[in-house]
């Protein structure tokens, strides 16, 4: 994997402010990555020290295997879910660079 892309993704995720979320697609677009799936892969392999919990699927839901922990972390930042879905119109981060 391209190390420069890897670091760009980590930097973008690190810049998502508390109380905001982005989708894998948002991060992919900002990082000029080929696919949102690549963002998930990078975060799963090397994302524990960045706010990975602020990145959601395109429909505003966490990955199924992360749902409880991710919603708990988001709730602590004031991001409230309707069931297991985050309202992207309300909480979506608008990257000033992307």
**How confident is the model over 43-82, as pLDDT tens digits?**
999 999 999 999 999 999 998 999 999 999 999 999 999 9
73 inside domain:
yes
Cα separation, 97 vs 11, in Å, equals 12
Give tens-digit pLDDT for 9-46: 999 999 999 999 999 999 999 999 999 999 999 999 99
90: left (phi over 0), alpha (psi -120 to 50) or beta: alpha
Q: What is the pLDDT of residue 98?
A: 52
The 3-class SS string of the chain reads CCHHHHHHHHHHHHCCCCCCEEEHHHHHHHHCCCCHHHHHHHHHHHCCCCCHHHEECCCCCCCHHHHHHHHHHHHHCCCCEECCEECHHHHECCCCCC
Number of folded domains that form the chain: 1
Q: What is the pLDDT of residue 94?
A: 85
34 inside domain:
yes
Domain that holds residue 56: 3-91
pTM metric for this prediction: 0.93
Instruction: Report the CATH number at residue 27.
Output: 1.10.10.10
What's the mean pLDDT in 82-97? 90
């Amino acid at each position: 994997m391209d190390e420069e892309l890897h670091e760009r993704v980590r930097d973008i995720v690190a810049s998502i402010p508390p109380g905001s979320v982005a989708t894998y697609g948002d991060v992919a677009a900002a990082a000029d990555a080929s696919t949102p799936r690549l963002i998930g892969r990078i975060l799963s392999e090397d994302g524990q020290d960045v706010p990975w919990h602020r990145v959601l699927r395109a429909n505003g839901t966490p990955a199924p295997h992360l749902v409880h922990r991710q919603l708990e972390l988001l709730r602590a930042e004031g991001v409230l879910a309707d069931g297991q879905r985050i309202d992207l119109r309300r909480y979506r981060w608008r990257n000033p660079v992307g």
